[in-house]
Amino acid sequence: MNDRRVVVVIEQDEAVRALLRATLGDAGFEVHFAATGESGVELVRAKRPDTVTLDVVLPDMNGYEVARRIREFSHTYIIILTARSDLRATIKGFEAGADDYIVKPIRPRELRARVDGMLRRPRQLRTVAPVRTAPGRTATATAAAAAAKGAAAPTATAGSSFEHNGLRIDSATRAASIGGRSLALTRTEFDLLRILLERGTGVVTKAELAALLGLMQQEAVQPGAAPAGTRDAGRIIEAHVGNLRRKLGDDARRPRWLKTVRGSGYTLA
């Protein structure tokens, strides 16, 4: 059985490609390279990698467009690499479908920590996001309380699957659908949705979502310099929720699935 992990590096700078080859190769990755956006998209389609690193500045198109094209057919993790550190560029990357964002110059230890953290995320989510209940109350009691308030609690089915208002997710296969229609979610979007479904009618704060999704780890690796750090976590979570709502066809003003709790976070509608 081959446990070797695969990464596609889409990068026009030869020096950066050499750095990534050494860093990711030493970490046990099979590394494939593309110097243009178009060839990068086709390489992702052919190699089906676990992770993609993506330069924003490419000779034929920008990295945001490349990310959007990859998201049309792949759930691979995408890490954007760029010299820009402003929040607007960060948000634009997440809106295009990226899972993480690293500002150049690249620090090899930071990059490896980010990649390892993302690849561990699906296993961790099975235990870090239990349904919240008051002391002495069961999940059944929580569902009953939600019904008494007129809120529809999600239904947990066999195999850690959840259903809510026609929306279904299967944790084992990481598939999501509405009324039988498959949803093309990124891994981050799926994980975010699963957390909210597991919590039921409990409110999950933006900071908590950022921590559970691994979007806070840059502070731990590189204190004080994180575009994905505590100060900006709320904006980044908002970008992911906005993407998720568009794919669900949900209306923030009259939500069917995701409800914003002003000044706090999100819960199920």
Domain boundaries, the chain: 5-120, 137-268
Q: What is the pLDDT of residue 156?
A: 53
Q: Which fold has domain 5-120?
A: Rossmann fold (3.40.50)
The answer to pTM > 0.75 is no
Q: What is the pLDDT of residue 236?
A: 84
Cβ pair 129, 211 in contact under 8 A: no
Phi-psi region of 200 (alpha: psi -120 to 50; beta: other; left: phi over 0): left
Cβ pair 9, 37 in contact under 8 A: no
Query: Mean pLDDT by 10-residue block, N- to C-terminus, for the chain (269 residues)?
Result: 78 93 92 96 95 94 94 90 81 85 87 81 37 36 42 55 88 86 86 88 86 61 42 79 91 91 87
- Distance of alpha carbon 56 from alpha carbon 74, whole angstroms: 19
CA distances from 44 to 65, 201, 215 (A): 14, 38, 24
Count, residues in the chain? 269
Cβ pair 59, 68 in contact under 8 A: no
Return the structure tokens found at 242: 């906005």
- Confirm whether 5-120 and 137-268 share one CATH topology: no
CATH number of 137-268: 1.10.10.10
Q: What is the pLDDT of residue 138?
A: 36
Q: What is the pLDDT of residue 119?
A: 78
